[in-house]
């Protein structure tokens, strides 16, 4: 029997308008270096099945004027957990 399950535009846009916590920043006093942040506790739900997904999120960037504040970055990332995007 052929399954009619497909990933639709509705799945892809689910939760896009959800309010997310603001990511705070602080001034970068010493430009010219690379920052790597690893978040091994990244979780989300699949928009199609509703089942949990787990992963490691690695963010690497070279800050110019501002650096990301880690706690607010984590809170913003955790806000995606139940959006099903």
Catalytic positions, written as ranges: 46, 53
44: number of Cβ within 10 Å: 19
Q: Are 25 and 69 in contact (CB under 8 A)?
A: yes
Q: Which residues pair with 36 in a beta bridge?
A: 60
d(CA 75, CA 52): 18
**Nearest Cα residue to 58 out of 75, 37, 73:** 37
């Amino acid at each position: 029997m052929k399954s009619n399950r497909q990933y639709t535009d509705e799945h892809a846009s689910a939760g896009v308008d959800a309010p997310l916590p603001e990511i705070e920043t602080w001034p970068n006093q010493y430009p010219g270096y690379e920052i790597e942040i690893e978040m091994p506790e990244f979780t989300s739900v699949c928009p199609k099945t509703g089942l949990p997904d787990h992963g490691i999120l690695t963010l690497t960037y070279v800050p110019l004027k501002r650096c990301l504040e880690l706690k607010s970055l984590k809170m913003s990332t955790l806000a995606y957990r139940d959006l099903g995007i």
